[in-house]
Amino acid sequence: MASFALRLLAAAGLAGVLAALPAAAHESEGEALARLDLALAVAPRDAELWRRRAGLERSQGDLELARADLERACALGLAPALAERERGWLARAEGRLADAERHLRRAIELSPGDTETLVAHAETLGSLHRWREAADGYARVIELAPDAGPDLHLARVRALAAGGDANLREALRALDEADAKLGPVPALAQEGVALELRAGRTDAALARLGRLSAQARHRESWLVQRAEILEHAGRSRQAFAEYADALASLEAQPPARRATPAAVTLAARAREGIARLSAPADTEAR
């Protein structure tokens, strides 16, 4: 971890270039810290500069430096909501989850619409296994941010599901809400398949998988997954047929595609399934 003194030396060497050029999108954290050191040499009472430097130090694991710089920012008048949020992030980095939750909750009280803080609070609640509160927190973010992406919806669903089997129907409803807003998203659809299977609803899982595979140009992976679900459910004849269809489809592909690692793995799974079910039982679970 670079010390402040070493960073000052680096900043001095780069001063001409750093002063002349705007920050680049690909700028490293070390370069960003050097810029902030130069800026603070000019404006040592700028609370925002100290906050930004504390954040970079935290991301690099320099937690003692981050704490000192954050406290300086607070002493210089950093906005209270920002101060509480930054203290919450630092407490999380230090493993003090209860303190992190308390700081982030205060930040939300001071700035209820700050989605960045709401997400951090929900994540912290999840780390504390306070699943219902975490799910409610993610739901609040989704409500405030209509353009919320799949990751937030997935986090909400997983928080609900982590709260126990009694929440599975609610988790599936949350997935359906996400699907209505975002359209088909493979990660969300696969989560739905897993939750249906956890609830013991094989046909519902297969239906979700079918809707996902209908959108796909190449269906072999979905056929293999469908076969594995059917096999696990004891529906051997159907599983055998799906494995065979998947393998036939894979073997019909051009040589270059058949040779890809993904295709080789799928073909192996299909062949193994066929081998296991090479003599299907006369009856199967329906």
* Domain boundaries of the chain, sorted by first residue: 1-15+29-78, 101-161, 219-286
pLDDT at 79: 96
Residue range 12-18: average pLDDT? 38
CATH topology for the 1-15+29-78 domain: 1.25.40
Q: Is the pLDDT of residue 24 over 70?
A: no
Residue range 116-142: average pLDDT? 97
C-alpha distances in Å from residue 17, one per residue of 23, 26, 247: 11, 16, 59
At 217, the pLDDT band (50, 70, 90 cuts) reads: confident
Residue range 64-85: average pLDDT? 96
Mean predicted lDDT score pLDDT of the chain: 88
pLDDT at 17: 36
Residue range 173-186: average pLDDT? 93
At 169, give phi and psi (nearest 5°). -65, -40
Buried b (16+ CB within 10 A) or exposed e, 8-39: eebbeebeeebeeeeeeeeeeeebbbbbbbbb
**Tens-place pLDDT, residues 184-212:** 899 999 999 999 999 999 999 999 999 88
pLDDT at 248: 95
Q: Is the pLDDT of residue 103 over 60?
A: yes
pLDDT at 30: 80
